[in-house]
Structure 1
Amino acid sequence: MNRPTTLREAIEAADSILIGAGAGLSAADGDHHSGPVFDARFADFRDQRGITDAYSGGFYPFPTSEERWAFWSRMISLLRYEAGPGQVYADLLGLVSERDYFIITTNVDHRFQTSGFDKEHLFYTQGDYGLLQCSVPCHDATYDNEKWVRQAVASQEGMRIPSELIPQCPRCGEEMTTNLRVDARFVQDAGWAAAAGRYEDFLERTCVDRVLYLELGVGMNTPSIIKFPFWRRVYDNPEATYACVALDASAPAEIADRSLLIRGDIAEALASARG
């Protein structure tokens, strides 16, 4: 078969499209994990704790729960509730909305949902900024945090929230934590399990089709979730195509003849494909 030479051709030729999205996609869409907006909102944490971006701040050993939740509530507010999606997600939705597609993502910023993607077509493997869970955890449930986040942001002073606002588990009384996969205590709730099941169903249903495995902004922090499985599935299915949009896009030699590597800006690539 003739292999596509452009992203648009690859999308049009596919029976089904599996999108693997990493942090680079939201970065291309103008998120505020770092940069001027983050600097302005977290100047106090930068000056007193040396925190210059959301990623390093997420692993900072804050001395008190009050300070830790001041940082986290402010960061969740900025990245989950204030910063809406931009043109990059709109272009991606325009390219696949009428197609048979599914998305697996390691992003936790909820941008797919707020951009209009059907949540039934989405598997968010690493959690969501908008959810809290028991830190133990004593049970497998998650809790929406928007009301608490807004209250914590409005109430904090001197890089601290009031002690009475430290979130506590409604069952065991222990302190809550964010529903983000950082260790074995990550809660995979009923919604997560349902999404995982839909993902597996999509993989099984399309395993011999002309599938486009479209990788957008995926790095090497967790390659076993998206990158390596995509490579393996293309290798196993002669009808499949692997497309990667990244500045350092690459593919194994074994699937080079079925790979489309676009070494450039994600925003430009999606806009060009959409026309």
Structure 2
Amino acid sequence: MHDLKPIAEKIREADAILIGASNGLSITEGLHLFADNAAFDKLFGDFKRKYGLGCLLQGMAAHWPSEEEKWAFWARLIHHYCGQYQPTPVMKDLKAIVGEKDYFVITSNGEGHFELCGFDPSKIYEIEGNWLTMQCARPCHDTRYPSLEVAQKISAAEQGGRVPTELVPRCPKCGGPMDIHMGAGQRMIPDTAAQAQFQNFLKTYHGKKLVVLELGIGWRNQLIKAPMMRLVAREPNANYVTINLGEIYIADNIKEKSFGLDGRLDELLPALRSACERIEQQDLC
């Protein structure tokens, strides 16, 4: 059994919380990009049989025979995981843990669930793009456009794994094809605004009490985990909390200011929320 009181105390004392999230959080919410499971079969069984897709990620990276088929896949994906999404208990627990504190979210997840759960979009950096925006596939310019309503409309019109040609999104400037922001690969337009907001957050809390709360990130992750550990190492008043199932890695140079929780997010986050609430009640007494 983990003793969560010391972590809850660090959160109570913190000036701000930096949340890092990757696949482990998505999987907890029932969205598994890498799995050929019952959920994938139910949603994309026809694509699996026709194209040999083995998981969602393969569909996201596929070279589709036509724009009509590409958008049938993406529209169905976005309609199901974004349009029909309801905030999950694990995300509600996370919001409660953050409470009224300032925060920033950096994530390699692209399904937009932080924003859909009410986290401030100006405090989220989706480092590998997201499903809720689209861009010119070339790209001829760097504007990103909302995709959710478009995907909902296309999904309703899809038949037999294709969408009507007249509904295929086209670039408003060059008339060429569009890509979902996260599906643009090497041509993905960087989110410079979010990058700047993240740097501003780090500048604001430099030297202050910062809790880095890392959710479902494996030890190989060089996009989020490695930079976060380096941040904790150079920030004298930062503490590092990593929660992951079956694999906890903490660099030696930050071990004395770190906590590693090996377990399920949907069990540990509600427990951590309760520990935070108990400390809050003690403060009020």
Check 1:32–1:231 CA distance in 2 against 1; reply closer, same or farther (3 A cut). Answer: closer
Which runs of 5 or more residues in structure 1 are unaligned?
none
What secondary structure sits across from 1:129 in the alignment?
coil
AA aligned opposite 1:18: L
**Contact 1:29 1:85 (C-alpha < 8 Å) held by counterparts:** no
What secondary structure sits across from 2:18 in the alignment?
strand
- Root-mean-square deviation (CA), in Å? 2.0
- Higher mean C-alpha displacement, 41-50 vs 60-69: 60-69
- Cα distance in 1 between the residues matched to 2:227 and 2:84: 33
Which runs of 5 or more residues in structure 2 are unaligned?
275-285
- Cα distance in 1 between the residues matched to 2:183 and 2:43: 25
> Counterpart of 1:180?
182
> Counterpart of 1:15?
15
- Cα distance in 1 between the residues matched to 2:89 and 2:54: 26
1:59 and 2:76 correspond = no
- Cα distance in 2 between the residues matched to 1:196 and 1:266: 27
Question: Which protein has the bigger helix share?
Answer: 2
Identical-residue share of aligned pairs (%)? 34
1:251 and 2:263 correspond = no
Shift of 1:185: 1.5
Structure 1 runs, 4 residues or longer, greater than 6 Å off: none
AA aligned opposite 2:60: G
Aligned pairs (5 A) from 1:1-275? 6-31=6-31, 33=33, 34=35, 35-180=37-182, 182-188=184-190, 192-219=191-218, 223-247=221-245, 248-275=247-274
With the length of structure 2 as denominator, give the TM-score of the two structures: 0.87
AA aligned opposite 1:167: P
**Contact 2:8 2:272 (C-alpha < 8 Å) held by counterparts:** yes
- Cα distance in 2 between the residues matched to 1:183 and 1:52: 19
AA aligned opposite 1:207: H
With the length of structure 1 as denominator, give the TM-score of the two structures: 0.90
- Cα distance in 2 between the residues matched to 1:224 and 1:196: 17
Shift of 1:32: 5.9
Instruction: Give aligned pairs, total.
Output: 268
Shift of 1:14: 2.2
- Cα distance in 2 between the residues matched to 1:121 and 1:68: 31
- Deviation track 1:101-143 (CA, whole Å, cap 9, x = no partner) reads 2111121111111112122322222222121110111111111
